[in-house]
Every structure is written in structure tokens, then in C-alpha cells.
Chain A
Amino acid sequence: EAGVVQSPRYKIIEKKQPVAFWCNPISGHNTLYWYLQNLGQGPELLIRYENEEAVDDSQLPKDRFSAERLKGVDSTLKIQPAELGDSAVYLCASSSYRTDTQYFGPGTRLTVL
């Protein structure tokens, strides 16, 4: 069974530029999560989807961050414009249902110069 796929693995951009991250969850997993992991910290939830509905986006900085999950499968997380403080690892995870074990992708390391 294929795991959670994320791309790109690494991204370096100049500040004020836009950036997008892509996630493909495990087949059949209805719930998808985006987490932010700063250096030396544990991951923090940005947004949770159940199918195509964003059911918890309370921690998503909506002035510059947006996300979508069309057709309830793949998801894209976008930042526009990026700031220096956005440099971090962005992790995607999926689970069969809300309280099931979450399985993580390899993450995208973003560096904003």
C-alpha cells in the first residue's frame, strides 16, 4: 500500500513569492491534515479536511495561507506571499476517519530567503 505522498520535498523561494505544496493521501482515507513543524518543535495542525470539507481551519493564517481538497482526494496548501517566518516543514497526514491513526508523508521543507 502506498503511503502519503508529498511534493516537492524541498522548496527555496524569495520572500513575497507564492508557493504551493501538494499532498496525495493514502487511498481510501477520508480525512486529511496539514501540519506545520518549526525547527525543534512538534507539528501543529493548520487545517483538517473530511472529504472535501475543511472542518477545522482555526489555526490557518487566512490572510496568506489557503488550502483546497478538490474531489476529496488530493490537497494543495498555498502561501501567498511567503514571509521569512514561514520557513518550516509542512507535513501532510491522512486517516481513515477522524479518530483513527494518522499516517504522515515525508514533508516539504520550505526555506524563505
Chain B
Amino acid sequence: AQTVTQSQPEMSVQEAETVTLSCTYDTSESDYYLFWYKQPPSRQMILVIRQEAYKQQNATENRFSVNFQKAAKSFSLKISDSQLGDAAMYFCALMNYGGSQGNLIFGKGTKLSVKP
């Protein structure tokens, strides 16, 4: 069975500083995708970043970057120069290629607060 674990229910960061959100996962597949989604109070899930497991290079998207450690099955999200608008729930998600390919498996989320 595939699982995604986010061990930090809540995190806090000062505006303009850097924060890292943790995620570990388990899958028996060798090909898969990993995602970070952001869910503000409006409830709409917004894609933050996507990583293909076959790519060794870590994905980056402006102030957002990941540290993908395939052997350790770890996929952390780093937010640099944090802004008030970054406050939200952040969900890590796994999508396998085979079997139930296309189905996203989500973690329980990390609530990020940004202090002015």
C-alpha cells in the first residue's frame, strides 16, 4: 500500500524567512510523481510544485523548492522569503505510474502560519 506521512501538523515562520516542511512516503513502484499542494481557507487546492521520481534534479518554482531523496523516500518543501500569502495548509501527495496510476495519495497536511 502507498502511504504519505507529514509529521508536522503545524509550522510557523517569520515573514521573509525560510521554512521547510517534511514529507515521507512509501511505495513499491519505481516510477511515480510527487506533489506539494497548498490549500488556503478558501479550500481550493493549488499546485505548488511537482517532481518526477526519475529526475535527480530537485524541482524549483520561484520561492519554492524541494529536497527529493529517493532512497530515503523523503520529499521536503522549502519556502524561501516567506510571505503572508503563504499561510495555508500544505499537502504532500504521491501518484504512482502503475496499478492505480492517476490516483493521488495525500498526507494529512501541515498548517503553516506566517508571522508579520
Residues of A within 8 A of B (CB): 31, 33, 35, 40-45, 48, 56, 89, 91, 93, 95, 98-99, 101-107, 109
Contacts and interface: CB of A to CB of B under 8 A. Distances in A.
23 contacts: A31-B102, A35-B104, A42-B106, A43-B45, A43-B91, A44-B106, A48-B103, A56-B100, A56-B103, A89-B43, A91-B43, A93-B45, A98-B101, A98-B102, A99-B33, A99-B95, A101-B47, A102-B47, A103-B47, A104-B44, A104-B45, A104-B46, A107-B44
Contacts, number: 55
Contact of B91 (A42, A45, A109): A42
Given A41-B108, A42-B91, A42-B93, A105 B44 contact: yes
Contact of B43 (A31, A98, A109): A109
What is the predominant secondary structure among interface residues of chain A facing chain B?
strand
Interface residues of B, number: 24
Interface of B: 4, 33, 35, 37, 42-47, 50, 91, 93, 95, 97, 100-104, 106-109
Contacts of A35: 104
Given A56-B100, A99-B95, A43 B43 contact: no
A101 B43 contact: no
Given A98-B101, A99-B33, A101-B50, A43 B106 contact: yes
Given A99-B95, A101-B50, A45 B44 contact: no
Q: Which 5 A-B pairs have the closest CB atoms?
A: A42-B106, A98-B102, A104-B45, A107-B43, A106-B44
